[in-house]
Homo-oligomer: A and B are copies of this chain.
Amino acid sequence: MAETGKREVDFADRNETDAAKAKRLKNEANSDEENRDQSASANPLFGFKTTTVLRDSAREKNMFIHGKLNDQEAVIILEKTPIREDTLLEIFNGSRLKLDMRNDIYSTYQLQPPAHLNEIKTTVVCPATEKHVKKYLRQETYLVQESGEDYRSITLPYIQSQSFSVQWVYNILEKKAEAERIVYEDPDQDVGFVLLPDFKWDQKQLDDLHLIAIVHRRDIKSLRDLTALHLPLLTNIRKKGEESILKRYGVAVSKLRVYLHYQPSYYHFHIHFTALSYEAPGCGVEHAHLLSDVIQNLQADSQYYHSRSLSFPLRADQGLLSKFKDAGKL
């Protein structure tokens, strides 16, 4: 269980009845509201004018807003606060509820708790620069369906026209950089690879374990290039990758998610190993492909990834999205 902060509560009389306690809590909350001005500063956000919402997350209940505060550029970050176990008694006894729906044993409500139990964490950056604004701006994402033919006529020419540098990948393979981070290597130039922690994993805990297997061969850009001829490579990565992670970190196969991205973030073939309990960005079904599924599909049909349609997300600022729009595919 995640630990929640403890808050001291003075109970005037530990023998009070539940009804009396609820009444007392309600009075304290009302008094809390009336007295808010005494502890709260005058509203410093009064008159803030929203220019645009930079991003928001329904899952994380936050919002990043660019606007103007007292004629200065500002970014305001609002985030709902976690629910604390030590506030539950007050919430259940001191809130107002409105029924939304009832079906069999299930019912849903909108609940309004006492205000002091339901604050919004607010961060103000003011004056904010253009860098602040860009930092927080999320791009809209679109789901694109790419047929085998679309790949050859739209995506492949686009990839080839861009100079996507993978020099940093070659540096790793050639031991010019990050050599000390390598967990395992199979040096075979056909089926071999280098396994090392992803740079976003600080390795301080196993909860967010994340390693990458980068293949030695340089002729596979992505999933689209794979055929049954690559099965020895794929099964080698799976087998030796899983064995070395078990050996180094004690994490078993049943606790791992092993997958690749399409589109990948760089066009040198690599595979991700993440902790199953870690909802790593990019492990969503529209972006990730389990290695075990890829192997099965190629065993059944060598041309599987040559011919089928693949879905993947593209951000508004990605050039490839414009190509699909121009081709009337969106």
Which of B45, B81, B277 is close to A80, meaning CB atoms less than 8 Å apart?
A: B81
With contacts A40-B98, A45-B95, A311-B292 taken as known, whether A104 is within 8 angstroms of B168 at the C-beta atoms is yes
Give the interface centre of A97, A107, A207 by most chain B CB atoms within 10 Å.
Answer: A97
**CB of A134 to closest CB in B, whole Å:** 15
A144 CB within 8 Å of chain B: yes
Is there a chain B Cβ closer than 8 Å to A82's Cβ? Answer: yes
B88, B106, B308: the one within 8 Å of A124 (CB): B106
A255 close to B61 (CB less than 8 A): no
Question: In the complex the two chains form, is B41's CB within 8 Å of A61's CB?
Answer: no
A235 contacts the other chain (CB 8 A):
no
Residue among A43, A102, A207 with most chain B CB within 10 A: A43
Q: Report A276-330 residues with CB < 8 Å from chain B CB.
A: 276-280, 283-290, 292-293, 296, 300-301, 308-309, 311, 313, 330
Contact call B59/A278, Cβ cutoff below 8 A: yes
Do B48 and A61 have beta carbons less than 8 Å apart?
Answer: no
Contact indicator B143/A276 (Cβ below 8 Å): yes
When distances are taken between beta carbons in the complex, the residues of chain B under 8 Å from A39 are 98
Chain B residues with Cβ below 8 Å from A65 are 88
Question: Does residue A55 face the partner (Cβ distance < 8 Å to B)?
Answer: yes
Does A120 belong to the interface (CB within 8 Å)? yes
A189 within 8 A of B: no
Residues of B within 8 A of A80 (CB): 61, 80-81, 83, 118
Q: How many residues of A contact B (CB 8 A)?
A: 122
Taking the complex as formed, is A101 at the interface, i.e. its CB lies under 8 A from any CB of chain B?
yes
B58:A278 contact, CB within 8 angstroms: yes
**Residues of chain B contacted by A158 (CB below 8 angstroms):** none
Residue in contact with A82 in the complex, picked from B46, B48, B55, B61, CB distance below 8 Å? B61
**Given A112-B36, A118-B118, A285-B289, CB of A83 within 8 Å of CB of B104:** no
Closest beta carbon of chain B to A106's beta carbon, Å:
6
How many angstroms from the CA of A1 to the CA of B44 in the assembled complex?
27
A residues within 8 Å of B by Cβ? 1-2, 4, 18, 22, 36-37, 39-41, 43-48, 50, 52-53, 55-63, 65, 76, 78, 80-83, 85, 88-89, 91-93, 95-113, 115-116, 118-128, 138, 140-145, 167-168, 171-172, 177-178, 181, 199, 202, 205, 207-208, 253-257, 259, 275-280, 283-290, 292-293, 296, 300-301, 308-309, 311, 313, 330
